[in-house]
Structure 1
Amino acid sequence: MDARWLILADDLTGAADCAIAFRRRGRSAAVTWGAAVPDPSIPVLSYDADSRARAAEAAAQRHAALLERLHDPERRLFKKIDSTLRGQPAAESAATLAHLRARSGRAFGVLAPAFPGTGRTTVDGRMRVGGRPLEEAEVWRRDHTYASAVLGAMLASAGIRSRSLTLPTVRGGRLADALAEVAAGPEAVAVCDAETDDDLRRIAEAGLAATPWAVFIGSAGLAHALAASGSTAALEPVRIAPDRRGSLLVVGSLAEVSRAGARRLLTDGAVVHLPVAPETLLAADGPSHLATPIAARLAAGQDVLVEILLAGEPDMRLGPRLAQALADALAPIAGQIGALAATGGETAAALLTRFDIHGIQLADEIEPGVSLGLTLGRLSIPIATKAGAFGDADSLTRIRDRLRRARTEGNLS
């Protein structure tokens, strides 16, 4: 029988892009957050801990509390971390290991954050993006927690002892033995190199074989490898009544690739562009002018792109306030949206929570890191979520096209 899983992520897009790996192989999977009570009958539960922006101690406490509430010993545990090490992956991993140790007296982690489908790899225990050190990437310059992208050093910052397993070990045919040896020793985590999906397949299979109590720590690349280790069934279609209302696409991420995607989307003239400046969002009366034109365009079947404009070097501290202000501005027209797309986990979480949505029934993956599902709660509409730095300049166009097909044809699968 295929294993049941609990995925604990630090943001919403990560929760979705890991769980969709299992859905693509025919298993029912759902994402939830907040005070929602997950359906225990669903084989793959993915929960957004909303801890990306928290300090290390607060993130660890959040994970400890959620694990006490959500973790069923009959479920294998996947701790999702960001493939560019944003947030507090070390503190959260330490809390996860402590939870397992307190529950069963033992804990061992298999760490493999690589996501080759999005250009993130691990070589000699260090994260790389596009073949170059992570420290040279835009995402690291804009937002990082640790002094370097060396995974062993990251874990050590939270008091976790680890051993690095390099590519020759990963590919050498005795990886399960190597993992079992680490699990039997003083190290709590095996740090695994991976450059390809095949490397991640080896890690997943060896990790499952080496120790039945291992917690897997990684990004969606490892989740896909773990999902592939089980059986594959035909996807049960996710269908809805066709809807002629337009799609709302919201770009709140600071990543340049999302901004490039917005510019590319505008070139075909098929969306209405409504940019909004941060100072407008944060003004006392907010962007009250937005709701009426958006509602009219959506009712006419037009797709609308709402973009938070940026100028110069963005102030990262404003991110949560901007996302919440935009969500408040759009809440009055939530019931008039035919489909929704959001780039950036913070933006997606703020919108969905404000719209009284408490979960997502996952349906399919549009491209690596971009999931498609059906919202659960006050609204039941197609939704696509994308981490801001994932994809390329055409990703937002592909998302728009897929949402248009989903809402007009009534088929999300």
Structure 2
Amino acid sequence: MARVLIIADDLTGALDSAVGFAGVGRKVVVARHPGSVPEALAMQPDVLAVNTASREIAPDAAVAEVTAALSHLQSSAFDVVMKKVDSRLKGNLSAETLTVMRWQGGSRCVVSPAIPSMGRRVEAGMLLGDGVATPVPVAGRFDEPVEVPDVVDEDDFDAIVGRDLGSTLWVGARGLAFALARRLGVRAPETARLDAPMMVVNGSRDPVTLAQIAALPSDIQVVMAPDGRADLTNFTNDRLVLTISDGGAGVSGQEAARRFAESVEVFSSAYRPAGLLICGGESAHAILDRLDINSLQVVAELRPGLPLCEVETGWGRVRIVTKSGGFGPPDLMVSVLEETGAVV
């Protein structure tokens, strides 16, 4: 069974790429930060994804985080290596990619951020499509020579990964990860559901997520957390939504996120959810820190783009789903809760 390594610059990307390899008989583990790599390795994964949380920091600091992650690993232990990057090519792409290339000892680097299922493609070396306001020259984002093949559909991806699989550094996003998984004989990940008691935790102020919460029917218990603080309340049903809001006190976003993570810890300990849906990447980081969860086993998808993980907590085994703030249609939250019987 081929072993795969994914180095990602954010948590949601690490999860969203790793889930492509999830399937029966394969253990897929995400290390939330470089320091948790030894813990993740102890789980003996077939696929290891490491989040370096380095997209928004300075290039030298990003290199340091990637180097720290790789310091726990031997390149010879992996048959396939992928550098997960933002699908719109944001972040420290060149510096991080070069760091992984040097560690891997290879010279061939293939870059394709295309995601055909999202209408995002690469043609004539340019990234185009949905969510890309201005075409981006892919090779221009890298200081070292890279190969930039055209990818407009999944067949193109399958043709590209059909050769030199292990001697290449693969650089891309969800589309590339799923193509590599298909090349290794992994079928699309299974879909799953969250069981009650279920808790939705929203630390995002993105209008997309706020609209999803606003669409919930009145019989769903929604608890507001002004500036991150929420009072423990009596639970009247087995579905609970806890969402951050602006308390008007001028609290910084960082402080509000810290307070919110504390509130989530208190609510989780009392509510003891079997299913937890966390909205917002930064919130997911802070909340998982508070819950002392450093490694996540990815087992399925709740929906495409919503990876589902299983973790051990102080109150038992929990299924956790992470969702980026800007992801999903307005009825997403309602449909997820419908699966657990909350909406009639």
Match of 2:68 in 1: 65
Aligned partners of 1:368 and 1:391 also within 8 Å: no
Asked if 1:194 corresponds to 2:151, the answer is yes
Match of 2:169 in 1: 215
Aligned partners of 1:28 and 1:44 also within 8 Å: yes
Q: CA deviation at 1:227?
A: 0.5
Question: What is the rounded CA distance, in whole Å, between the counterparts of 1:57 and 1:149 in structure 2?
Answer: 24
Asked if 1:54 corresponds to 2:5, the answer is no
Q: CA deviation at 1:225?
A: 0.8
Question: What is the rounded CA distance, in whole Å, between the counterparts of 1:51 and 1:153 in structure 2?
Answer: 20
Match of 1:173 in 2: none
Write the letter of the residue equivalent to 2:222. Answer: H
Match of 1:141 in 2: none
Bigger helix share: 1
Question: What is the rounded CA distance, in whole Å, between the counterparts of 2:190 and 2:324 in structure 1?
Answer: 26
Aligned partners of 1:83 and 1:115 also within 8 Å: yes
Question: What is the rounded CA distance, in whole Å, between the counterparts of 1:253 and 1:121 in structure 2?
Answer: 28
Write the letter of the residue equivalent to 1:15. Answer: A
Q: CA deviation at 1:39?
A: 3.0
Match of 1:374 in 2: 310
Deviations 1:288-339 (A, max 9, x none): xx1412xx32xx433222333369xxx9x95544333211222223223312
Q: Which runs of 5+ in 1 are unaligned?
A: 136-147, 161-186, 282-286, 408-413
Match of 2:203 in 1: 252
Match of 1:82 in 2: 86
TM-score between both structures, scaled by the size of structure 1: 0.71
Match of 1:43 in 2: 46
Write the letter of the residue equivalent to 1:43. Answer: D
Write the letter of the residue equivalent to 2:95. Answer: A
Asked if 1:273 corresponds to 2:222, the answer is yes
Match of 1:96 among 93, 100, 120: 100
Asked if 1:390 corresponds to 2:327, the answer is yes
Aligned partners of 2:221 and 2:237 also within 8 Å: no
Q: CA deviation at 1:385?
A: 1.1
Alignment of 1:120-199 (within 5 A): 120-130=120-130, 133-135=132-134, 149-155=136-142, 159-160=143-144, 187=145, 189-199=146-156
Match of 1:10 in 2: 9
Match of 1:354 in 2: 290
SS state at 1:190 partner: coil
Question: What is the rounded CA distance, in whole Å, between the counterparts of 2:168 and 2:188 in structure 1?
Answer: 29
Deviations 1:170-212 (A, max 9, x none): xxxxxxxxxxxxxxxxx3x21233222222222222xxx1363
Identity rate, percent: 27
Question: What is the rounded CA distance, in whole Å, between the counterparts of 1:395 and 1:372 in structure 2?
Answer: 15
Match of 1:224 among 178, 182, 203: 178
Write the letter of the residue equivalent to 1:12. Answer: L
Match of 1:180 in 2: none
Superposed CA RMSD in Å reads 3.1
Number of matched pairs:
332
Deviations 1:344-401 (A, max 9, x none): 2211111111111122222211222111121235452111112233332233333334
Q: CA deviation at 1:55?
A: 1.7
Q: CA deviation at 1:252?
A: 2.7
Match of 1:292 in 2: 232
CA 1:211 to 1:225, structure 2 compared with 1: closer, same or farther past 3 Å? Answer: closer
SS state at 2:71 partner: helix
Write the letter of the residue equivalent to 1:196. Answer: D
Question: What is the rounded CA distance, in whole Å, between the counterparts of 1:150 and 1:310 in structure 2?
Answer: 39
Match of 2:22 in 1: 23
Question: What is the rounded CA distance, in whole Å, between the counterparts of 1:263 and 1:326 in structure 2?
Answer: 19
Question: What is the rounded CA distance, in whole Å, between the counterparts of 2:94 and 2:255 in structure 1?
Answer: 26
Aligned partners of 1:107 and 1:214 also within 8 Å: yes
Match of 1:111 in 2: 111
SS state at 1:70 partner: coil
Q: CA deviation at 1:243?
A: 6.7
Question: What is the rounded CA distance, in whole Å, between the counterparts of 1:255 and 1:369 in structure 2?
Answer: 17
Match of 2:160 in 1: 203
Question: What is the rounded CA distance, in whole Å, between the counterparts of 1:292 and 1:309 in structure 2?
Answer: 16
Question: What is the rounded CA distance, in whole Å, between the counterparts of 1:308 and 1:254 in structure 2?
Answer: 8
Question: What is the rounded CA distance, in whole Å, between the counterparts of 2:120 and 2:188 in structure 1?
Answer: 30
SS state at 1:94 partner: helix
Asked if 1:263 corresponds to 2:219, the answer is no
